[in-house]
Structure 1
Amino acid sequence: MVKAGQITTNGADMQIIAGLGNPGTQYAGNRHNIGFMALDAIQRLPGFAPWSKKFKALISEGELGGEKVLLMKPQTFMNLSGEAVGEAMRFYKLGPGDIVAIYDELDLAPGRARIKTGGGHGGHNGVKSLDAHCGNEYRRLRLGIGHPGNKEQVHNHVLGDFAKSDKVWLEPLLDTLADDAGMLVKREDSQLMNKLALAVGAKPEAEKAEKPKSEKLASPKPAGKSHIHQARGGGKPNLPTSGPMAEMLKKMFGSKGE
């Protein structure tokens, strides 16, 4: 019976979580293998079976959040990852909506995580292979490894090991992902992203504080005098009392008291 809210196209009550990487001890510490590292962290949770070989992959069955889960680490090398995941998808009669792929992302800063359904492959060969064998509409949990800044350095960057200094964010990220993997299968994506962000020291953007109101309102400035009033000096004009001008003013306005 399919649980309420589970997106399963063919009635199978299971989800596949596929971590992408390359098999072999020489690749185990590579940035490109962060998907394998994430699966190893989840598989260490109580209730998961030991790794076994099937579907050209290492698999482990268990439960997360009350859902049956198949963990997969394809052993085909990165570029052929879709062969293994596609075979398991068809065997269990699942659809793309029942698959979560976890892999490295160059275009995210180290430790940052993003999840989405569908989208482009972004030049990632493992994702290209999944698209070809499983369709496009599966969920993708991308874990940032940062970009070296130069296109020519990308190959050595992704196939290079994490530095010791990366443990500061890598271990908390993987531990938190494992502890809260139930959110992944229950599609509580926003909550999971928040948990992962906090694990690596990122904090939500603080709301801008309002400017404090002044305890006292500024006293209004006295209204300035108009330039006409200022020109007049604000007092009575000094009128001439004698001479031709005085006589003219007397004729115009008359003498005070007359």
Structure 2
Amino acid sequence: MTDMWLVVGLGNPGPTYAHTRHNVGYMVVDELARRARVALRSVPKMRAEVAETRIGPLGPGVPAPGAVRVALVRSRTYMNESGIAVGRLATFYGVTPAEIVAIHDELDLDLGQLRLKKGGGDNGHNGLKSMRAHLHSGDFLRVRFGIGRPPGRQAPADFVLSGFPASQRDAVGVEVARAADAVEMLLTEGLSAAQNRYNS
């Protein structure tokens, strides 16, 4: 396996969007940073917030045989320009699309469902579309975090930019932790093992 990874949480910057469905990728990266006891710091020329750590068999932030170097990333652009930061950081760290993990919200999965995969289409997700454009490839890894479909006739764009109801907040916390677990397993044991454990 590779010794360097970018783990990118997709979302929108700023307090207005902090707790919205579209920002579950940010939430998972924040959880990984918390576990590793590192702080994301602004890197203006990359248009991102970045924290470097290691993730291995003993967990994030613990040096151990088999631990890999990881840059945890949150773009400081809006979702539809996420690829700017990812492209610049990929060049800076010398990683290929196969060494990038994108964590993003997924309308086609219910809350409580995760899917890990490599490659695939954008499915109307502007963050993935931007990453594909700037990496000139869609062959990065994805952790698809289910948020479900909007109720009634609510537009998907409005739904993803709204917050989770109070009745779902505990479940969201559980899923954020589970998605972080899935990222750890993906990096330490590989995609197939993580899919077998977490794809639901």
TM-score class, shorter-chain normalisation, is 0.7 to 0.9
1:19 to 2:9 alignment: yes
1:52 to 2:46 alignment: no
Give the one of 13, 23, 30 matched to 1:33: 23
Q: Which has the higher helix share?
A: 2
Instruction: Provide Cα deviations, 1:186-244, integer angstroms capped at 9, x if missing partner.
Output: 353454456557xxxx7xxxxxxxxxxxxxxxxxxxxxxxxxxxxxxxxxxxxxxxxxx
Higher relative contact order (CA 8 A, sep 6+): 2
- 1:30 Cα deviation from its structure 2 partner: 0.3
- Aligned equivalents of 1:103, 1:27: Cα separation in 2: 14
Give the one of 134, 145, 148 matched to 2:147: 145
Instruction: Provide Cα deviations, 1:118-138, integer angstroms capped at 9, x if missing partner.
Output: 110000000000000112110
Q: Which has the higher strand share?
A: 2
> Does structure 1 retain, via aligned residues, the 8 Å contact 2:186–2:193?
no
- Aligned equivalents of 2:6, 2:55: Cα separation in 1: 11
> Does structure 2 retain, via aligned residues, the 8 Å contact 1:45–1:178?
no
* Alignment partner, residue 53 of structure 2: 62
Select between 31-40 and 186-195 the one with higher mean Cα deviation.
186-195
TM-score by length of 2: 0.86
Amino acid aligned to 2:27 = M
Instruction: Provide Cα deviations, 1:1-20, integer angstroms capped at 9, x if missing partner.
Output: xxxx33xxxxxx31000000
Amino acid aligned to 1:61 = E
| CA-based RMSD | 1.9
* Alignment partner, residue 122 of structure 1: 123
Amino acid aligned to 1:50 = A
Matched residue SS, 2:8:
strand
Structure 2 gap ranges (5+): 57-66
- Aligned equivalents of 2:153, 2:141: Cα separation in 1: 27
Amino acid aligned to 1:157 = F
* Alignment partner, residue 212 of structure 1: none
* Alignment partner, residue 108 of structure 1: 109
- Aligned equivalents of 1:165, 1:179: Cα separation in 2: 23
Structure 1 gap ranges (5+): 7-12, 203-258
- Aligned equivalents of 2:70, 2:93: Cα separation in 1: 12
Return closer, same or farther for 1:113/1:49 CA change in 2, 3 Å cut-off.
same
Greater C-alpha Rg? 1
Amino acid aligned to 1:79 = N
Give the length in aligned residue pairs: 187
